[in-house]
Amino acid sequence: MQIQRVLRSIASSGLRAAASPRTAGALGARIPRAAYSSAFPAVPQLGRFQVPAVDNEPMYNYAPGSPERRKLQEALVEMRSQMPFEVPCIVNGEKIFTKDTLNQPLPFDHKTTLASFHNADKNLVEKAIEGALKAKPAWEAMPYNDRAAIFLKAADLLAHKYRYKVMAATMLGQGKNAWQAEIDAAAELADFWRFNTQYATDIYSQQPTKNAPLTWNRMEYRALEGFVVAYSPFNFTAIGGNLVGAPVLMGNVCIWKPSPTGLYSSYLVYEILKEAGLPDGVIQFVPGDAHVVTDATFDHPEFAGFHFTGSTHVFKHLWQRIGNNINTYKSYPRIVGETGGKNMHFLHKSADAKHAALQTVRSAFEYNGQKCSACSRVYVPDNLWEEYKTELVAQTKQIKQGPVDDFTNFMSSVINKQSFDKIKGYLSDIASGKTPNSSILVGGKCDDSVGYTIQPTVVLATDPKAKTMVDELFGPVVTVYVYPADKYEEYLEIADKTSAYALTCGLFAQDREAVIVGSNKLRNAAGNFYINDKSTGAVVGQQAFGGGRASGTNDKAGSSLNLLRWVSPRTIKESFVPITGVQYPSNLKE
């Protein structure tokens, strides 16, 4: 508490803690004499700090009889015995129960409620903005090593103390099986928080390499002037933690609107950050109607940035809203968004057909096809079709589907009725013959009597521009088109132009020349390009994630590129010796 008071005093005196690369916490502004005796000694600079070496969080396998499987099963039983939970809004550290509530059901058992949550109204969102702006000076002034320590501690709390609780919330609330929850809610989120501290250190280390005689040049990486808004999706608990964590680590404050279908796990993420030492008001947790939150935040002059993951349609609408308000804002808001994808697997005639089929099943049907990187269209050469089809159909038929508590289930259900109805509509049109040039090869059944259950489905298209080759369904449906093996380059070009999206792509070929040709032809078709691997599974620190075209701004979550979007650099030149005149030598007479 004492250091918080000191930092607020520093901030109110107009001081800014320099985000020095290796001297984290060095004060970068001249300290007024009155503040020198009380403020400066309270934050002594006694070393050049380097964050601990980071590595990917080790992942557990949850094999039968393993300790981690037992602990996760116990966490699921405990959570079921305690639900439904009640989730408040949290503004300035205060839990606020507005009484305007909605429920978050289990997607595979939609009559059962995981949590009820309170929605913020416009007045509460405005209060959250005001509180965040008041918290910002002290937060930005906090030495970087202290900000980083909060996120490093949060990562350790998640990985150890709260691993199974957050995983259980992700499984029950978002319909993930144990492995999908592990790679998301435990590993990826911890990786985001840890690796970002190293990326931030690297950014702060980027300083001018040249100093003219008698001067010293520096680069200061300021937080944005105002507040950042984050809208997080349901499908990855880790994404929500990074959408707020990335800008906040860089000294910003954030208004967080979590998805109503991923609400409880997001609340646990917030609580972990608070336990790790995040000051009140730095992140304001405001579930609520999107229109209400958008009106209050996007119309505010101090709106400085928007960090978004969700649908392309919503992102485009919100971007347009920001553009229409541009004369309202103090500065040009930073807009960072990752949206949809119509991701492909493309096989060359030299590909390993079985390997490609197995990777397609994983990519298309893991987490019920609800990864933004999931494979939803495949191009197969006719020389490999029979082998590929045999494996694809056989493996798809073996997929077991049901509640996440049963660890033998590979899939559960899609997230809500809206998603269910949309996908069912596409499949019904194909089954009834309303969609020409398409047929269901395997799967296709839909049942929402208990959960929003859609069978893993393979559609065979005889037109490369068939509806399910073009439209994003965001569910367990993959469409295959068989092309003439000797027209590889022609169909690469067709594939490149078929979709508005450009998120991920998997190219399968053993012929190296084919790999080179495919990589070049599809250069702009995906922000994440995989060679002989599936289109899903990006790992923080290994494959930074993001795509272009309609898939987003490609600011690469899990990299320094994303963090750079949340700072506004200031160049500083300091001269040490006074000049003695106005004239330059060139002004002198001969």
**SS3 of 224, please?**
coil
CA 373/CA 35 separation, integer angstroms: 52
Give which of 10, 5, 7 is closest to 36, Cα–Cα: 10
10 Å CB burial of residue 369 (0-12, 13-18, 19+) is buried
- Both tokens of 525, joined, read 């078709």
Which residue of the set 89, 372, 446, 505 is catalytic? 372
Burial of 125 (0-12, 13-18, 19+ CB in 10 A): buried
Residue 112: enclosing H or E segment and its boundaries?
strand 109-118
- The answer to whether the beta carbons of residues 87 and 118 sit under 8 Å apart is yes
Residues whose CB falls within 8 Å of the CB of residue 120, separated by 6 or more in sequence, listed in order: 89, 91, 96, 98, 128, 286, 287, 288, 292, 293
Active site residue 338: yes
CB 374 within 8 A of CB 236: no
Q: Which residues contact 33 (CB under 8 A, 6 or more apart)?
A: none
Enumerate the H helices of 177-226 as residue ranges.
178-181, 189-205
**Token pair belonging to 353:** 């057909």
Rounded CA-CA distance 375/477 in Å is 9
Structure tokens that stand for 571 in this block: 């160049």
* Catalytic site includes residue 89: no
Write out the H or E segment, with its range, that includes residue 381: strand 375-381
Q: How many Cα atoms are found within 13 Å in the side-chain-facing hemisphere of 174?
A: 32
Could you give the dihedral angle defined by the CA atoms of residues 429, 434, 439 and 442, in that order, rounded to the nearest 10 degrees? 20
Hey, is 483 helix, strand or coil?
strand
Pick the catalytic residue from 338, 366, 391, 472. 338
280: tokens are: 């009140």
Nearest CA-CA partner of 398 in 381, 411, 416, 380: 411
Catalytic positions, written as ranges: 338, 372
